[in-house]
Amino acid sequence: MEKIVKLLLLIISHAAIPCLGQFGGGDDAKTLVTNLFSSYSTMVRPNKDYSKPMNIDLDMILVGINGLDEVEGKLTTTGYLSVRWTDEYLVWDNDIMQLYIPQNKIWKPDLTLKNGFTKLTTLGSDFILVQILQMGLVWWQPFEVFESKCSIDITHFPFDQQTCDLVFVVWSYFIMDVNVTKGADGIETEDMEESAQWSIVSTSAREDKEGTESKVTFTLTLQRSSGYYIFNIIIPVIFLGLLNVFTYVLPVDSGEKMGYAMTVFLSFAVFLTIVSSELPKSSGSYFGYYLMVLLSFGVITVCVTALELRLHHSQRKVPSWIEKVMQCACCSCEENRVDDLGNTKRKKDVTWSDFTAFIDFAMFWILFMSFIVLTVIVMIILKLRIKM
């Protein structure tokens, strides 16, 4: 109830400022500041009853998401905090409705980003002014570029979501001295600038009381913008994988098969080199495994093609076990067949050319079906974020 009353007083005061600005003057303000700060100490917690804690309301206004580093596990955001409390030593009763005082001139809670990526520093700067209302309500809005630690899971890249926390804690005071609570708004995103890479799915704020420590945790759930990766990485990779499969459509004696296989393989390798800067630097991504499988398909194709060329020009007799395999797997290799005139004639012996054509047929359908099934499964897992 006390928090609601304070918030209402703040709103009413802001609404009344344009009308009340005509009361008082510079001399009155100077006198007021002299009287208020003549015996004021920034080292004394400004509540007269030390048996009760100083209550601090905390909201966060998010201005922008600067970046998320997967390797370092660092979230960089720009924004400012809305910190409110009542200073019982800064209360007056005259025509001056509010004062603006440099933040280092009054007592402030030693709020800090507990899971910060760099060393602990004071929030805000000396030029930031603190607004003080007549009833002692203090409103402090320190602006910062926050660098916080975040556990990154790139399993479903580039359709991944990341959940990051910004934990603000009163570093020195115990909870019985200063109690930090989340404000009514939590995280405000109305003034936030759109990020080209990340969009906000949801936000939340919660109060955590752990032993003697009082803290507020702001949680951001971010969704990666996947359009760039779909059109510039995923679709070209699928096309290259499909071109690799169609190597087996070319006949061995065409003279172009080995050159085609090597061209597709090198194109895939060069493409991965070009786009490597856009891929996560950490391992564990399903898409990364998918790329490795497609690369292995390319290696298999080059090796099989080289072997086919060797066999196709071989002068040795085809082994009997190969003939048996051909007879069992291919109806065109039957011992006898009927020609167009209805005459039964004996088929010629199996040659290496027949065998390499059989390999092409088998490898095409094996790799083609494997490629289609693998691609569909991986895309479903990435898009729906299925846990394996």
Residue 210 dihedral angles phi and psi, to the nearest 5°: -120, 105
Closest among 171, 187, 116, 120 to 149, alpha carbons compared: 116
User: What residues have CB less than 8 Å from 12, skipping those under 6 apart?
Assistant: none
DSSP-assigned beta bridge partners for residue 69: 74
Closest among 156, 184, 181, 151 to 169, alpha carbons compared: 181
**What average pLDDT does range 283-310 have in this prediction?**
92
Q: Give the tokens for residue 163.
A: 């959940």
Share of the chain above pLDDT 90, in %: 55
Distance, CA of 65 to CA of 379 (rounded, Å) = 27
Q: What is the pLDDT of residue 253?
A: 83
**What average pLDDT does range 28-38 have in this prediction?**
90
DSSP characters over 85-145: EE-TTS---SS--EEEEEGGGS----EEETTBSS----SS-TTPEEEEETTSEEEE--EEE
Distance, CA of 227 to CA of 359 (rounded, Å) = 39
Q: How far apart are the first and last CA of the chain?
A: 48
pLDDT at 388 over 90: no
> Distance of CA 278 to CAs 6, 87, 158, 200, 233, Å?
49, 51, 10, 21, 9
Using only C-alpha atoms, the chain has a radius of gyration, in whole angstroms, of: 36
The helix, strand and coil proportions of the chain, stated in percent and rounded to the nearest 5, come to 40, 25, 35
Q: Provide the whole-model pTM.
A: 0.80
Distance, CA of 376 to CA of 90 (rounded, Å) = 66
Q: What is the pLDDT of residue 295?
A: 94
Share of the chain above pLDDT 70, in %: 87
> Distance of CA 210 to CAs 59, 204, 206, 207, Å?
20, 19, 13, 10
